[in-house]
């Protein structure tokens, strides 16, 4: 905060090369439910002095607006990642259902399994089509905050729901972390939280009605 009295207009962003300053520390690796490949940590800045010329954009007080400007892009990326992971889960489940046998035949031969995977595949295609629409709007400079929020909401909701249904196809094996579907399941949950919770996405969409 470069001006505590100005609220949002008193926030500025700085670029810091942390290996060239004192006072920067990384905490322990936090144990998360999923996404264990990311070394998520708490960062502390104790009496760390940053040169004034490290101000991002060269104009003080623009930090909040610089962050807000990137939110639609961030939310679109999260939505796309969600749909991509949902599609990966469907492909894993289809592959498994073709080789896993029960009662003398592949479980894909059972109508319930086929129906579940048919629904998941259909929902993935519909979500991918919407993401393509949003990407085109972004490239045209027309992606508004409400539509970006829809992308994040839809993509992550579908990711969590579809991966859950695909995990069920694997039965007990789906609960073992050595199987990719279990890793997908654990990693998916946070998608509905970061980048703005999905409840906030609904609020933003609702304001545009």
CATH 1.20.140.10 residue ranges for the chain: 65-207
CA atoms within 13 A on the CB side of 156: 27
| 146 and 180 Cβ atoms separated by less than 8 Å | no
pLDDT tens, residue by residue, 30-47: 999 999 988 999 999 999
Residue 113 to residue 99: CA distance in whole angstroms: 13
Q: In the numeric block, which tokens belong to residue 17?
A: 């090369």
The catalytically annotated residue of 74, 87, 92, 142 is 74
- Give me the numbers of helices (H) and strands (E) for the chain, helices first please: 5, 4
Q: Is 74 a catalytic residue?
A: yes
Nearest to 64 by CA among 13, 5, 4: 13
Q: In the numeric block, which tokens belong to residue 34?
A: 């999923």
**pLDDT value at residue 124:** 98
Q: In the numeric block, which tokens belong to residue 184?
A: 């997908």
Stronger pLDDT, 193 or 19, i.e. the higher one: 193
Confidence of residue 19 (pLDDT cuts 50, 70, 90): confident
The mean of the pLDDT values for the chain is 96
Q: According to CATH, what is the number of the domain 65-207?
A: 1.20.140.10
pLDDT tens, residue by residue, 108-154: 999 999 999 999 999 999 999 999 999 999 999 999 999 999 999 99
Q: In the numeric block, which tokens belong to residue 59?
A: 């104009």
Residue 50 to residue 56: CA distance in whole angstroms: 12
pLDDT tens, residue by residue, 154-199: 999 999 999 999 999 999 999 999 999 999 999 999 999 999 999 9
What sign results for the dihedral spanned by CA atoms 88, 91, 93, 99?
A: negative
Confidence of residue 21 (pLDDT cuts 50, 70, 90): confident
User: Based on C-alpha coordinates, what's the Rg of the chain?
Assistant: 22
Residue 133 to residue 84: CA distance in whole angstroms: 15
């Amino acid at each position: 905060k470069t001006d505590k009295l100005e609220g949002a207009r008193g926030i500025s962003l700085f670029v810091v090369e942390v290996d060239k300053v004192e006072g920067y520390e990384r905490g322990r690796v936090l144990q998360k439910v999923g996404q264990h490949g990311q070394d998520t940590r708490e960062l502390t800045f104790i009496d760390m002095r940053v040169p004034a010329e490290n101000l991002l954009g060269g104009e003080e007080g623009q930090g909040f607006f610089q962050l807000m400007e990137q939110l639609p892009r961030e939310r679109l990326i999260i939505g796309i990642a969600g749909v991509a992971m949902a599609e990966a889960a469907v492909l894993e489940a289809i592959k498994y259902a073709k080789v896993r046998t029960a009662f003398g035949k592949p479980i894909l031969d059972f109508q319930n399994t086929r129906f579940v995977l048919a629904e998941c595949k259909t929902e993935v295609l519909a979500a991918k089509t919407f993401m393509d629409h949003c990407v085109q709007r972004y490239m045209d400079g027309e992606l508004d905050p409400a539509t970006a929020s829809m992308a994040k909401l839809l993509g992550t909701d579908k990711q969590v729901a579809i991966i859950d249904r695909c995990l069920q196809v694997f039965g007990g094996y789906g609960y073992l972390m050595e199987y990719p579907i279990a890793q997908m399941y654990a990693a998916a949950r946070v998608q509905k939280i970061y980048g703005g919770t999905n409840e906030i996405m609904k609020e933003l969409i609702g304001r545009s009605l």
